[in-house]
Structure 1
Amino acid sequence: MNLKNFFQDFNPSKFLVFSCLLVFSLLFALRQDDSISWSYWVIFLPIWLWKGTVIVGASVGSYVWWKNPHYRMEGDSYVQYKAMVMCTGLHLLLLMFEVLACDNLETENHSWILVFIPLMFMSVVSIGICVWAVKNERSFEMELFCSVNVLQFIFLALRLDKIINWSWVIVFIPIWVVMCVALIGVLYAVVLAVILLKSPDIIPEQRRGNISSAIGYSFLVIPLLVFEILLADRMDNSTNNPKNYTAVTVPLLMSLVTLVCLSFGSKGGNHWWFGIRKDFCQFVLGVCPFLQEYGNISYSIQNNETESEESSVDTSEKLKTSTSKKDLVDEQPRAVVPVLSIEMPD
């Protein structure tokens, strides 16, 4: 086990987001099935934890940014800080939507069109942020998700307010288009992994990386598509089967577990969250020095007899090598140098 290689590409932001979504999805499904009778404000507790971490992280990062002007000259610090500010703004819009949605689920005092207005505005703003991210070579997963689903958000708001009475299969048409594109990407990744698996010119590390990516994307997209199909069927037949949301959510939980696992191999991340200005793994090792010794040691399980045999063979080889070198030195003729003395002149 090599802890250093395991955490060197760890993305703590994605780990936090997907873990909170995993817990929230399970709690929300149990609440819809009346398995638990908690308030929706408690059900949304993982979401509040996620947003609270974002706000605190951005606040500390901004304090470090303005407190130490010389940090702004470090590499691409300005681009990373600007990306953090944009991401925080999007999270605030998303937090506004979540607060309105939670309150509407609890009291039903608002129309869903009003609830979805922050999310629609966030989708429009995300288009510009995606363009900026491409120019500055930054990641934009959340921004891309919101920008391509703006039409889906409008359909959901109109359908929940019963302004349109379409079937849920028709309401989900925008997401079907997105999932078709995702399936094409998964098929491409699988075919590429198979081709590279048979190619002798590819190094084993790259071959394993392509196979891992293909498997990860397959476990992400296919269960997500199954979840959307089951959800659409469940919503269209809500009168016949008013519950069973937990069973419908199982494929979604599989996709979220896959995303949590993939966060350990996702590169990137913003170094200005909480003002750490370095990779998360390096920051943790710096804060906890006792982890450095464990993080720099690789453990392997081998047979003791094999280890003793290998050590004895290595020792004998070293002795033979040193003896042979000594014999070679002894066999070489030595030059005789006369003794010189320096005397004082008369």
Structure 2
Amino acid sequence: MIFTALFALRLDGTVHWSFWTVFIPIWFWKFMVVIGATIGSYVWWRYPHFRLEGEAYVHYKAMLISLALHLILLMFELLVCDKLDSGRHLWILVFIPLIFISIVSIAVCIWAVKHDRSFELELFCSVNILQFIFLALRLDGFISWSWEVVFVPLWILMCLSLVGVLYTIIFAGILLRAPEVNPQQRRTSFNSALGYTFLVIPILIFQGM
């Protein structure tokens, strides 16, 4: 949220900081990811008995996958920052790490499903590969489509997400009226519907603006 506010202020000219300064929240986030992975790896190798606990290996592998994806994202963010500050790269080159991570994320999503792991970031990247390509080509001027056309892949994705939100709301309403459903299931379903609503609707409003 801090980065979004700083980035908007910088684009509007309200602040005149370097983009490297504006991106400080991103750098801090990535620093914390690396620190967390380092500590996790240290514990993993320093205390071998932890490896015998249930799905410890799966958890460790998931951490390494997450670290790798974040490092690739860091490469993209560094290129974006350099592009905004110097303008010496084509946007298509800047987006190469993001396109690469979108392809890799497909395999990561499959792995996550098999091992019952969450994969929200990976799913977002994998389904938006076409959007990333269109955006880079439009920013470089290789295509002259209107922005409405450029964002068609994202519109399709958001429409599907809206259908999912409506489904969760209807499902939560059914559970609230079903007497045989226990309160915990009702609460979980209601919270899920509420969470998806507050996630998708603001994004739709932002995209429309």
The yes-or-no answer on 1:90 pairing with 2:69 is yes
Task: Give CA deviations for 1:166-224 in whole Å, capped at 9, x if unaligned.
Answer: 00000001101110110011000111122122222222332233222222211211111
Q: Give 1:77's aligned amino acid.
A: A
Within 5 Å, give how 1:33-48 maps onto structure 2.
Answer: 33-48=12-27
Q: Which residue of 1 aligns with 2:155?
A: 176
1:126 alignment partner, one of 102, 105, 109: 105
The yes-or-no answer on 1:52 pairing with 2:49 is no
How many angstroms does 1:136 deviate by? 1.0
Distance 2:162 2:66 in 1: 28
The yes-or-no answer on 1:75 pairing with 2:75 is no
Q: Which has the larger radius of gyration?
A: 1
Helix, strand or coil at the partner of 1:164: coil
57-66 vs 105-114, which moves further: 57-66
Q: Give 1:139's aligned amino acid.
A: S
Q: Give 1:167's aligned amino acid.
A: S
Q: Which residue of 1 aligns with 2:45?
A: 66
Task: Give CA deviations for 1:50-69 in whole Å, capped at 9, x if unaligned.
Answer: 10001111112112211222
How many angstroms does 1:27 deviate by? 0.8
Q: Give 2:82's aligned amino acid.
A: D
Runs of 4+ in 1 over 4 A off after TM superposition: none
Structure 2 residues not aligned, in runs of 5+: none
Distance 1:138 1:216 in 2: 19
Q: Which residue of 2 aligns with 1:141?
A: 120
More helix per residue: 2
The yes-or-no answer on 1:155 pairing with 2:137 is no
Please report the TM-score for the alignment, with normalisation by the length of structure 1: 0.59
Distance 1:37 1:223 in 2: 28
Q: Give 2:14's aligned amino acid.
A: S
Within 5 Å, give how 1:16-31 maps onto structure 2.
Answer: 22-31=1-10
Distance 1:138 1:182 in 2: 20
Q: Give 1:62's aligned amino acid.
A: S
